Amino acid sequence: MAGNYNDDNGAAAAMKELLSGKDKCAEELVKSIAQSVVDHSRELAFSEACERRAAAATGTGADDLQQFQLNLATERLSKISPVLANRYGVLLKTHLAFLQDQTLQDAFAEIRVPELPIDAKSLIYQRMFDNFVDDADSVSFATHNKSLLGNLNPKDMFVLLMFTFATCRRVKGDNLLQLIVSGVSSVGKSKLFESAMLHGGHNFATEEGVGRFVTGKKNLLLLHDVDISILYSGKDSDKIKAIARSETTSAKVQNTVTIILPLFIFCSSNMNLMTHVFSCRKGGFFTKKYESQAQLVGQKRRHEECLNAIKSRFLELFVRKAPWQDPEDLKNSDNFNRTHFILATYERVVAVMAKYKKEDFHSTHLIHYVASGLCKFADLHTFVMKKNLSGQVRTVVANLCPDDFIIHGNLPEEDICKDESDRATPVPSLADRPDCNWFDSPGFDNQQFSQFE
């Protein structure tokens, strides 16, 4: 079969060869009728003699025009052959929709907004992220199960968990808290936090239907702007609890059942799940409490147990008012993504990890997650941000990770060992481990960063 599949025209020509002579004749017939109908409707629209008929036929909107064209095309095909109309009616409708999409595409102007370089955009994200999470007067962190924090500050735990969600796949038995970002609207929750989760996130649909838990290779379940009651009293509350605990669970998919692989959970809402307390010092010292907005209805006892179970598995960031942001940063803060988040928080994550000892972490899985993420994206951070933090990362790994820690990523030098005497089999370098090269990772295009070379 001839044709170059790396070229659009070549691929189209190669696929054409798959058609039989009968298929090609049918295709030409459908295209001919569809094009004649489109041309006829245009003539009606611009014909002064048929102005009244055109108005009645084409209506005032694209949907009316599409229905008129479909009726006319079906009528013409039926006159040629009712058998062909029955056989190729769906194909004709699809092609007419394609032609209308082309017409609408050419009917409107399309602007292109210049994008800032990725390093500049990441620095903006870094400033905005730090201003947000460090504003103690506007933001609070809370969880029902403080034992899962270990000795970590809740804010530090939140940062490490977000970095984990953005860089790693989940494994069973990690015993980690999941994340909720809640509070007043239009303060940057989606812009700063959800944007970092979208790349690997499966948008969870709350409507009835199958396939809501078909996540493929995605690593995260994303509940966008939901009513928090679906976490503890909705029809999927049992599944959400099981996923939060990284337990094996299943879901209905069409006529069968699928196993849900371990997933992180990230939720955003205007309703706060936990109770939050702020310390205020204006006009004297006092506290202000924001009670949980989770309400129990119906089977109160059952829902109360579900609510406590959910609260024990989530760490919540609650924002009561918009944190201060630089106006210039706000002007350039559109379209943040996972890459900006990783680059912006990389240095902060290294500093947070360096603050603690191994005993401070409730779960060694978190240490492994963060260390693996730091190693995997070390090249990316050095290449784009022009900062080599491999020495600090190496120290973090040496102090926190066990001797048998396997690096799922790459650092500039050949290997990492706590001591020269511990060095046994060297960890392969980047050249020997293409599977660990960030250029080959999903979501990163080598050409994307050519401007920095």
**300 has a pLDDT exceeding 60:** no
- φ and ψ at residue 202, rounded to 5 degrees: -100, 115
Q: 118-147 burial, b if ≥16 CB within 10 A, otherwise e?
A: bbebbbbbbbbbebbbeeeebbbbbbbeee
**Mean pLDDT, all residues of the chain:** 78
Percent of the chain with pLDDT over 70: 74
Give residue 83's domain range.
13-107
What separation, in Å, do the N-terminal and C-terminal C-alpha atoms of the chain show?
39
Confidence of residue 184 (pLDDT cuts 50, 70, 90): very high
Between 409 and 163, residue with greater pLDDT: 163
- φ and ψ at residue 252, rounded to 5 degrees: -75, 130
Cα separations in angstroms, 352 against 163, 250, 368, 407: 12, 36, 14, 19
Strand, coil or helix: 277: strand
Q: Is 352 domain-assigned? A: no
**228 has a pLDDT exceeding 60:** yes
- Residue 167's pLDDT is 93
> What is the dihedral angle through the alpha carbons of 248, 206, 155, 171, rounded to the nearest 10 degrees?
20
Cα separations in angstroms, 378 against 125, 162, 345, 347, 382: 18, 17, 12, 10, 6
Q: 184-198 burial, b if ≥16 CB within 10 A, otherwise e?
A: eeebbbbbbbbbbbb
- Residue 405's pLDDT is 66
Between 6 and 367, residue with greater pLDDT: 367
* Beta pairing class for 256-260 and 249-253: antiparallel
Confidence of residue 284 (pLDDT cuts 50, 70, 90): low
Give every CB contact of residue 334 below 8 A, 6+ residues apart in sequence: 113, 191
How many distinct structural domains can be found in the chain? Answer: 1
What is the DSSP secondary structure assignment for residue 453, as one 8-state letter?
Answer: -
- Residue 205's pLDDT is 67
Six token digits for residue 129: 């992220």
The listed range with the strongest mean pLDDT (70-84, 133-147, 212-226) is: 133-147
What does the pLDDT average to over 68-79?
78
Q: Is 87 domain-assigned? A: yes
- Residue 50's pLDDT is 52
Percent of the chain with pLDDT over 90: 31
**315 has a pLDDT exceeding 90:** yes
Give the chain's radius of gyration (CA, Å): 28
Confidence of residue 30 (pLDDT cuts 50, 70, 90): confident
Confidence of residue 11 (pLDDT cuts 50, 70, 90): low
What does the pLDDT average to over 214-227?
84
Between 394 and 283, residue with greater pLDDT: 394
Lowest-confidence region among 38-47, 126-135, 241-250, 253-262: 38-47
- Residue 121's pLDDT is 93
For the chain, what percentages of helix, strand and coil (3-state, to nearest 5) are there? 50, 10, 40
**59 has a pLDDT exceeding 80:** no
Strands (E) in 207-342, as ranges, are 220-223, 249-253, 256-260, 264-269, 276-280, 286-290, 314-319
- Residue 211's pLDDT is 64
- Residue 26's pLDDT is 78
Cα separations in angstroms, 194 against 54, 136, 149, 165, 232: 48, 21, 22, 11, 22
Between 276 and 59, residue with greater pLDDT: 276
- Residue 101's pLDDT is 82
Six token digits for residue 16: 């054409």
Q: Is 266 domain-assigned? A: no
Measure the CA–CA gap between 305 and 161, rounded to whole angstroms: 25
**407 has a pLDDT exceeding 70:** no
Confidence of residue 113 (pLDDT cuts 50, 70, 90): confident
Confidence of residue 422 (pLDDT cuts 50, 70, 90): very low
Q: Is 71 domain-assigned? A: yes
The gap from C-alpha 190 to its chain's centroid, in whole angstroms, comes to: 11
Residue 258's DSSP bridge partners are: 251
Question: Which helix (DSSP H) or strand (DSSP E) does residue 200 occupy?
Answer: none
Between 443 and 65, residue with greater pLDDT: 65
What does the pLDDT average to over 387-400?
89
- Helical ranges in 234-275 per DSSP H: 237-244
Measure the CA–CA gap between 407 and 201, rounded to whole angstroms: 24
In this structure, are residues 239 and 206 in contact, taking their beta carbons and an 8 Å threshold? Answer: no
Cα separations in angstroms, 206 against 43, 239, 249, 256, 406: 46, 13, 18, 20, 39
Six token digits for residue 187: 């303060």
Between 177 and 115, residue with greater pLDDT: 177
- Full strand arrangement of the beta sheet holding 264-269: 139-143, 314-319, 178-183, 264-269, 220-223, 201-203
Q: Is 357 domain-assigned? A: no
Between 356 and 24, residue with greater pLDDT: 356
Measure the CA–CA gap between 444 and 340, rounded to whole angstroms: 12
Between 427 and 310, residue with greater pLDDT: 310
